[in-house]
């Protein structure tokens, strides 16, 4: 989308006017990106207004609230559009966007993306290899990731599927409280697999202090 030039609105293209026009376009783009209505974009007939100090100014018409905001050199920002009536705040819109982006970045950092890690076994796995892969599975689970334990049967090994089930079931038992079974062992073609998920950590509630004896 191309933004209209100042000339299309009958505005002379002077250096000062050009700078103001570009600033207005940049401000409008930030507003559209945040999906937040401000100033003239607010469509409600009546709004509940909070000033920059957190004081309730009551229910006003948007033009009255904008007049107050402009007298204070600030903007009128719609912060709760679904409220009845919508709630708007008098504040610096640039500061509002900065704080919003800052909180969203912090939330993304705290968010844990769960991955599915795979640990592969074979029917002929030896004890040392089994212990290594079991420890790897426990490490993944402790880190908050799910684990897919898989075992592929090759050729005549399909006649001894009970050996494969024994290995996967042993892994489930050895993992113990570190993980929980999300999908029990099952066959898909020539592959036996199970899905393990991290165990939920129980929140330990502090014990109430004993009442003082009189």
The pLDDT tens digits along the chain (214 residues) read: 455 555 554 545 455 555 544 544 444 544 444 578 899 899 899 999 999 988 999 999 999 999 999 999 999 999 999 999 999 999 999 888 888 888 888 887 777 677 899 999 999 999 999 999 999 999 999 988 999 999 999 999 998 899 999 999 999 999 988 989 999 999 999 999 999 999 876 544 555 545 555 4
The Cα–Cα gap between 37 and 74 comes to 14
Does residue 87 sit within a domain? yes
In a domain, 203, yes or no: no
Gyration radius from the chain CA atoms: 31
Residue 23 lies in a domain: no
134: domain range? 116-198
pTM as predicted: 0.46
Tokens representing 208?
């109430």
Q: In this structure, what CATH number is given to the domain that contains residue 82?
A: 3.10.20.80
Residue 13 lies in a domain: no
Q: Quick one: 207 exposed, middle or buried, by C-beta within 10 A (0-12, 13-18, 19+)? A: exposed
Last residue of a domain, which of 56, 86, 109?
109
Residue 81 falls within a domain, yes or no?
Answer: yes
125 with 149, same domain: the answer is yes
3-state helix, strand, coil in the chain (%, to 5): 45, 25, 30
**CATH number, position 183:** 3.30.110.10
Q: Looking at the 3D structure of the chain, how many domains does it have?
A: 2
| 121 and 97 inside one domain | no
Q: Are residues 87 and 161 in the same domain?
A: no
Which tokens in the block code for residue 86? Answer: 């919508």
């Amino acid at each position: 989308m191309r933004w209209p030039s100042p000339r299309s609105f009958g505005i002379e293209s002077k250096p000062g006017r050009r700078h103001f026009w570009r600033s207005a376009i940049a401000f409008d783009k930030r507003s559209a990106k945040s999906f937040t209505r401000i100033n003239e974009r607010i469509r409600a007939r009546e709004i509940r207004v909070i000033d920059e100090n957190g004081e309730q100014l009551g229910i006003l018409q948007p033009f009255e609230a904008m007049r107050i905001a402009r007298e204070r050199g600030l903007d009128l920002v719609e912060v709760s559009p679904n409220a009845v009536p919508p709630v708007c705040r008098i504040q610096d819109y640039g500061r509002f966007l900065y704080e919003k982006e800052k909180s969203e970045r912090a939330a993304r950092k705290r968010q844990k993306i769960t991955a599915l890690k795979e640990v592969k076994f074979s029917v002929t796995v030896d004890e040392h290899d089994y212990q290594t892969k079991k420890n790897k599975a426990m490490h993944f689970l402790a880190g908050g990731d799910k684990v897919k334990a898989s075992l592929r049967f090759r050729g005549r090994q399909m006649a001894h599927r009970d050996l494969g089930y024994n290995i996967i079931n042993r892994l489930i038992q050895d993992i113990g409280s570190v993980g929980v079974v999300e999908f029990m062992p099952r066959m898909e073609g020539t592959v036996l697999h199970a899905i393990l998920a991290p165990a939920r950590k129980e929140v330990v509630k502090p014990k109430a202090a004993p009442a003082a004896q009189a």
